Chains A and B, each alone.
Chain A
Amino acid sequence: MMNKTLIVAASEFTTQTRSKAFLVGLLMMPIFMIVAMAVQKFTRDATDIKDRPFVVVDRTGVLFAPLKAAADEWNAGAKAGGVQTAPLFLPTAASFDERDDQARASLSDRVHRDEIFAFVEIPADALDPATNARLQYYSNHPAYRTLPAWISNTVNREIVNLRFRAAAIDRAVVGRLTRRVEINELGLVQRDTAGGIKAAAPVDKVRTTGIPVGMMMILLFSMMSGAPQLLNSVIEEKMSRISEVLIGSITPFELMMGKLLGSTSVSLLLAVIYLIGGTMAARHYGYGDSIHASDMAWLLLFLVLASMIFGALFITIGAACSDLKDAQGMMTPAMILMMLPWMTWFSILNAPESRVSVGLSLFPTATPFLMLLRIMLPPGPPGWQIGLSLVLTALTSMAAVYAAGKIFRTGLLMQGKAATFGEMWKWVRAG
């Protein structure tokens, strides 16, 4: 029996690793990270270089000039190096009475005609700290935050300066007196075997956060590159009646286990490739000592458990459906379970010992990802939590494989319509 299971596993492994999807999966994580960094840089540097002309109605009479000077300084910075990397802010002064709605309407028309981007009114009592005066910013681009934020910061800085001057207080003295005392985050002081004391090292975010998150991402990407392929594989075999030929040679359970083992092997291969690449990169940047063999072992163990659970889930969906269209409807619960670690890992990062973090990391479909993250975040969870999570996940994995085997056996030869959840439950209970 084992031999045939291994033959199916080898075929599944070969088919998946020779497909374009595998190559895409292999490159997906590095490409995703490079693209994310590139997009960040691009959006920061060069996405928006459109001029932003705007009108300033300064009823204080003293703020337009410093605002204009600040805009000139901004614009010079935006064009530094010969390449424009930010929009130019082009303020022009205007004046009208604060009760003049016609003037506001005229300026609004100019905004509509794209002659100006926005206009702002600075109230006459803006300098008086006793009032509750507010700047009035008008625009038809409410989502664009850069200009109003810049105007607010610039005007407020100047207003504060003027208020200090009016109170005859030296701003430079205030600056010195209000300087913050920053915090240095350190690890713990270590004792060596000779009884000597080793000074605490500063906390390095790459070591304490970046590498654990990176390991969890390797686990997620590796699993996502393997298990979902089983859905297509089972549906293809079902639609092309290949299953009928295979079941003539092998039991449905052997076939399913072979597919699961093959897919898990693909995920393990990907994880090993990522780990080798990640370790080399870590060494290159001086973080080689932050990746431990035990962390890699945890990752691979959790990957096997995750691949079994999600692989069984996708096999079940494939066997219960007649085509990909049917499968899409059934994918929702599986996708929610897959997305759970995506949606929650950040809160675990902030408070790995919180009740929510403990609860989430013990939830079997999320355990492989979130418990790995907690294990890698110092000081790590207590042993009983790790043990319990392993037991729960292993039991879930076995239950998923058992149920998938029952559904696979019946669903595989069923054609024409997708099974309902009720029917699948009946198949599982049928024994």
Chain B
Amino acid sequence: MRAVTAAIRLTDVSKRFGGVAAVDRLSLAVPDGSIYGFIGPNGSGKTTTLRMIMHLLLPDEGKIEVLGSADTRAARDRVGYLPEERGLYKKMPVRRLLRYYGRLKGRTIAELDPVIDEWLARMGMQGWGDRKIESLSKGMSQKVQFVAAVVSRPALLILDEPFSGLDPVNAEALKDAVLEVRRRGATVVFSTHDMSTAEKMCDRIFMIFKGRKVLDGTLDEIQAEYGFDTVRVRTAGGTAALAGLPAVDAVNDYGQLQEVRVTGDPQDFLRQLTSRTDVYHFEVTRPSLHDIFVRIARPSPSSEIAGGVVS
């Protein structure tokens, strides 16, 4: 672990609020130049962890290094941050706001203006520099917030739920922007509830649950831990055909398709299934990140079909 050049390194970090552990003995290393995904259910400690990295909160225990510095404040000018809830001055024109945020990161106006123009153009916002924030749509505001986080050309970009609430077009624009930041050499850490985004974008994924690390690795590494225990089936009988089958451990019902976690040999399960109904599709696969997330974070079974859990 020590051999990796880490943009962020947490060692046994804990944070409590009123006796409740929001983060509990957390250790992780974010490799330099990677896109690192933070996942976890609401209230699991993602935002608290990000805030400690940003020095907005101080850990009760443990050590945090950011860009090689143990004093997280020292690295502040090289870190861009997009908070979970957007923070923009409504009455301020876009360019003035971006200059202000950029200057607070130690950049001069002469350095900032070309970068602002470039990013506004990339976001499809040419000529919007004089518009007040209050006149922008939610999507546009979110893009401005993103630009505010990157105008200082940070070495580390931390994004808390950057894609939440965006329509597909704006989400696509933001995804491209994140990839562009990484192409320019920055490390990107973002938290998300969108598992497919995390699967597609992240070099490494970290999952926190009840303040503790439960997953940390590449998608392949994470899926490998769970093996080929998942079967995607489409049958004439649907979920009813799965009820009571001994090989079925849990069922994730998507309506037209069911994702089934099986115990034992999948071929035995196929034989059991064909004896009951017509099978149109049968695919043995590894569990998706979504499935893994649900397996870890589900508080208790909401309904069961003959020993199998359906969501």
Contacts and interface: CB of A to CB of B under 8 A. Distances in A.
Interface of A: 4, 7-8, 11, 14-15, 19, 236-237, 240-251, 413
B73 A4 contact: no
B186 to A, nearest CB: 15
B202 interface: no
A249 B89 contact: no
Report, nearest first, the 6 A-B pairs whose CB atoms are least far apart: A242-B87, A249-B104, A248-B81, A241-B87, A245-B87, A241-B85
Contacts of A246: 87, 104
A249 B148 CA distance: 12
Interface in B41-87: 51, 54-57, 73, 76-77, 79, 81, 83-87
A240 B104 contact: no
A248 B76 contact: yes
Given A7-B103, A11-B100, 16 more contacts: A7-B100, A15-B89, A240-B90, A241-B83, A242-B88, A244-B51, A245-B81, A245-B83, A245-B101, A248-B54, A248-B55, A248-B56, A248-B76, A248-B79, A249-B105, A250-B76
A240 B101 contact: no
Nearest to B160: A244
B105 A251 contact: no
A15 B92 contact: yes
Contacts of A413: 51, 56-57
Contacts, number: 61
A8 B55 CA distance: 19
Contacts of A242: 87-89
A250 B76 CA distance: 8
Contact of B104 (A7, A14, A236, A244): A7
Contacts of B54: 247-248
Contacts of B51: 244, 413
B90 A4 contact: no
5 contacts: A236-B89, A241-B85, A244-B56, A244-B85, A249-B105
A4 B101 CA distance: 11
A405 to B, nearest CB: 16
A247 to B, nearest CB: 5
Interface residues of B, number: 27
Contacts of B89: 15, 236, 240, 242
B24 to A, nearest CB: 21
Contacts of B86: 240-241
Contacts of B77: 249
Of B85, B87, B89, B100, the most chain A CB neighbours within 10 A belong to B87
B87 A240 contact: yes
A244 B83 contact: yes
A249 B101 contact: yes
Nearest to A4: B104
B87 A243 contact: yes
Contacts of A14: 96
Contacts of A240: 86-90
A12 B55 CA distance: 24
A246 B148 CA distance: 11
A250 B83 contact: no
Nearest to A242: B87
A242 B88 CA distance: 6
A4 B76 CA distance: 12
Contacts of B56: 244, 247-248, 413
A245 B144 CA distance: 13
A249 B83 contact: no
Contacts of A244: 51, 56, 83, 85, 87
B240 to A, nearest CB: 47
A244 B85 CA distance: 9
Contacts of B57: 413
A234 to B, nearest CB: 13
A406 to B, nearest CB: 14
Nearest to A248: B81
A245 B54 CA distance: 10
Nearest to B89: A242
Interface in B241-264: none
Given A4-B104, A7-B103, A240-B90, A249 B85 contact: no
